[in-house]
Structure 1
Amino acid sequence: MNMLRRTWFTGLLAAVTLLAGCAVTPPPASPPTPQARAALAPDGKLRVGVYSGSPTSMVTDKNGKLTGVAYELGRELARWLNVPLELVEYKRIAEVLEAMKNGEVDFTFTNATEARARDMNFTLPLVSLELGYLVPAGSPLQSASEIDRVGIKVGVSQGSTSQGVLTRTYKQAQVVPVPTLKAASEQLAARKFDAFATNKGILYEMADGLPGARVLDGRWGLENLAIAIPKGREAGLSYLSSFALTVRRDGTLQSAIDRAGLRGTAEPAMR
């Protein structure tokens, strides 16, 4: 009798575990049409463009596992499409955007600017991030309003939106392009410039590895991040929009944000 009870309980536990697993990873609301799948993954796989060091793109967590919003949403879309995921890693966002423009990647997650919309199509914005500054230990700077002064040098990612905007905006501070986020951390620690400018998600990530570094109070703008695909893939936009709305509503997006440790978020520009 006891053996029968144990067998029954084991079977029940297995069934509950199976159901719980299904609840965690539900199937897509509807399968893609052949046209949508061909548009979104034309090579039979989803090539996701990422760059390391940004929680909005790809980072490594404390357990050595890959995470990041672009990486996790790309993995989820590949599951929806029932195609393999191919991760394509670059050194900086400008290289991801160039690859997108050339059709070398099928998917990324980035700032949805008017200039970028000439080369790619975006979903609605899913995440808004404050733009700010990181300063090294011992810096006398206290707020974003103190940056645009004579003699101040501000590092930016080469080819980034920050480089373009701040170069046009500053009246006195000097913009210093940097090839990678790793180089930015090294040069900031070595006092090659006075502050580094980008979204606060990246800044807080950098600050974790730079003892005494601080993200300044205030902001100089906002980034509205969205899923992006290359131009010419319009047959997949309706399905992609449904995907974007679903991951935002069902908690998939928030879970990716939490796992990536993304900080500095603001209210999204659209709901």
Structure 2
Amino acid sequence: MSTVSDALKKTLAPTGRLRASINLGNPVLVHRNPTTGEPEGVSVSLAQAFAQHLDLPLDMVVFDTAGKSVDAVTREEADFGFFAIDPIRGQGIHFTAPYVLIEGAYLVREGSTFTCNDDVDQEGVLVTVGKGSAYDLFLTRELHRAHIVRAPSSPTVVDVFMEQALDVAAGVRQQLEADLQRFEGLRILPGRFMVIEQAMGLPRGRGEDAARCLFDFLESAKASGLVARELARFGIQGASVAPAAKA
């Protein structure tokens, strides 16, 4: 039985059902099961565990981009979700501490003169990112000379990069590594241009008690080994469990 009060449950899930916003655009955290078509992955496992913690039924509201997932929680069309921490998103979402750290990387053609991440921010360079993704938000702030071209979603970044003959594709390292198997003549620049802190979050209007409940749940999930087990179960490489956080 849940130790969370009925009043707090009502704050966390006003409809009586816990609605999780799930973003299919980040393959590190969630994907569709090839047999059933249902979403599965670290995010889904955590959503299920949080619903069990609250002793509430779970509904998954599934989106193909991070931007749509963010909007759903900001507008309170979902009760919580899984996001890269970003100050712009933080205007409408109260984040927990991160639970997973993920590398952002650049992909270029084999013949490109770029040899390191610092080479990218030059006049005339066209960098494609998934619209509304953490990389879009970060690079919009950090790139001062290169120009950003926004693909419809993170999984389509390399398709747009190829179709429009752009200079650089930016995204989750695991997604870019998978794209190397789809297209010839590409390479990933060494290192990373950012580390993405993936957290859970809920609408800011839900208040401090709700935010504390979600924070405590996630810290417990990290400490118990749940996050690490789910990363291993789904064969995720290149992502690590974030360190424990203090409130």
Per the TM alignment, residue 106 of structure 1 is displaced from its structure 2 partner at its CA by 1.1
2:121 partner SS: coil
2:199 counterpart residue number: 226
Q: CA RMSD in A?
A: 2.6
Distance 1:263 1:206 in 2: 15
Which amino acid in the other structure matches residue 48 of structure 1?
A
The answer on 1:117 being equivalent to 2:90 is: yes
1:109–1:225 CA contact under 8 A, matched in 2: yes
1:4 counterpart residue number: none
Which amino acid in the other structure matches residue 60 of structure 2?
L
Structure 2: tracts of 5 or more residues without a match: none
2:216 counterpart residue number: 242
The answer on 1:59 being equivalent to 2:52 is: no
The structure with more helix, counted as a fraction of residues: 1
Which amino acid in the other structure matches residue 55 of structure 1?
P
Distance 1:128 1:158 in 2: 21
2:122–2:145 CA contact under 8 A, matched in 1: yes
Distance 2:143 2:215 in 1: 37
2:161 counterpart residue number: 188
Distance 1:205 1:53 in 2: 14
Please point out which of 134, 144, 148 is paired with 1:171: 144
Distance 2:28 2:10 in 1: 26
TM-score normalised according to structure 2 size: 0.84
**Taking structure 1 as reference, are residues 85 and 137 closer, same or farther at Cα in structure 2, changes over 3 Å only?**
farther
Per the TM alignment, residue 268 of structure 1 is displaced from its structure 2 partner at its CA by 3.3
TM-score normalised according to structure 1 size: 0.77
Please point out which of 92, 98, 106 is paired with 1:133: 106
1:145–1:218 CA contact under 8 A, matched in 2: no
Please point out which of 20, 29, 38 is paired with 2:10: 38
Larger Rg belongs to = 1
1:36 partner SS: helix
Structure 1: tracts of 5 or more residues without a match: 1-27
Distance 1:159 1:230 in 2: 18
**Taking structure 1 as reference, are residues 190 and 155 closer, same or farther at Cα in structure 2, changes over 3 Å only?**
same
Q: Percent identity?
A: 26
Distance 1:137 1:45 in 2: 50
